[in-house]
Amino acid sequence: MPELPEVETIVRQLKKKILNKTVVKFEVLDSKVVDRGIEKIVPFRIDKIYRRAKSIIFELNKDRFLLVHLRMTGHFHHAKKGKENELKPYEKFVAAKFYLNDGSLLTHNSIRKFGHVKLKNKESLQKELSKLGLEPLDKEFTLKRFEEILLKKKKSNVKVLLVDQSLIAGIGNIYAQEGLYHAGIDPHRKAGSLSQKEIEAIYRELIKILKKAIEHHGTTVENYVHIEGSGGFQKYLAVYGKKTCKKRHELRKVLIGGRGTSYCPRCQK
């Protein structure tokens, strides 16, 4: 599942390709994934594109919004005018086509149909986004706020808290495991057992790793691709999908909160 760095990468690329352009025709090929109502509001201009947690939001003129959730296998592809052939390899999984006023074409593809593209008004968008917690790369996500989040749930497992979207939004299984490894914290730890120093280490490492992953256009494991190709952060993974840590200690894989979690029993205490 794409997490914050992967979705942020896609948002930055979408901005370069389609921001301020007008969708002159919109075609729904799979109404399980894409709201049919979008066809009826063309033409519409894309005034803003931004990320919230793992979702992409297109702000349209007309006070409407498209809320895109990629889930496991949602992708975007874009071809300039006359280059539509480049989209041929992805034809099979196209769920929607955005025809833009510069003659280019954006497709939304969904291989396993878990994602969605929903049409929202301001109220229904806000209602949906209000369930989400703090953005870990926003100024509001201070060490103090992070501490408060952990200390309100002293008995909860630290890894489970990190991936709880209602507390901190955008971190999933990959970056939670990586962050805990770099902070040297055993993922079994309860939030209430963490010292001030340990909380600081998790906070610092999480932010560091999210920023570094964005620099490398996200992590490609399974089938994440951004608009211009694959991510590069998989080269830097320390524990996710690995058998040994950087110091060649054997990793242990356990289930925490129902999710597979790898960690190093020697480096993480």
Residues of this chain that bind Zn ion (CB under 5 A): 245, 247, 249, 264, 266-267
Instruction: In whole angstroms, give the CA distance from residue 269 to residue 265.
Output: 7
Nearest of 127, 135, 88, 124 to residue 107 by alpha carbon: 88
Q: Can 259 be counted among the known catalytic residues?
A: yes
* Least distance to Zn ion, CB of residue 205, Å: 15
DSSP-derived letter for residue 264 is -
Shorter beta-carbon distance to Zn ion: residue 56 or 264 = 264
Shorter beta-carbon distance to Zn ion: residue 169 or 264 = 264
Instruction: In whole angstroms, give the CA distance from residue 124 to residue 117.
Output: 14
Shorter beta-carbon distance to Zn ion: residue 134 or 267 = 267
* Least distance to Zn ion, CB of residue 269, Å: 11
Q: Can 3 be counted among the known catalytic residues?
A: yes
Instruction: In whole angstroms, give the CA distance from residue 113 to residue 177.
Output: 27
Shorter beta-carbon distance to Zn ion: residue 214 or 267 = 267
Catalytic residue among 51, 54, 120, 159: 54
* Least distance to Zn ion, CB of residue 182, Å: 11
Which single residue is written with the structure tokens 């497992």? Answer: 157
Instruction: In whole angstroms, give the CA distance from residue 105 to residue 86.
Output: 11
* Least distance to Zn ion, CB of residue 113, Å: 39
Q: At what angle do helices 173-183 and 196-215 cross, to 10 degrees?
A: 130
Nearest of 171, 181, 159 to residue 263 by alpha carbon: 181
Instruction: In whole angstroms, give the CA distance from residue 260 to residue 157.
Output: 14
Residues known to be catalytic: 2-3, 54, 259
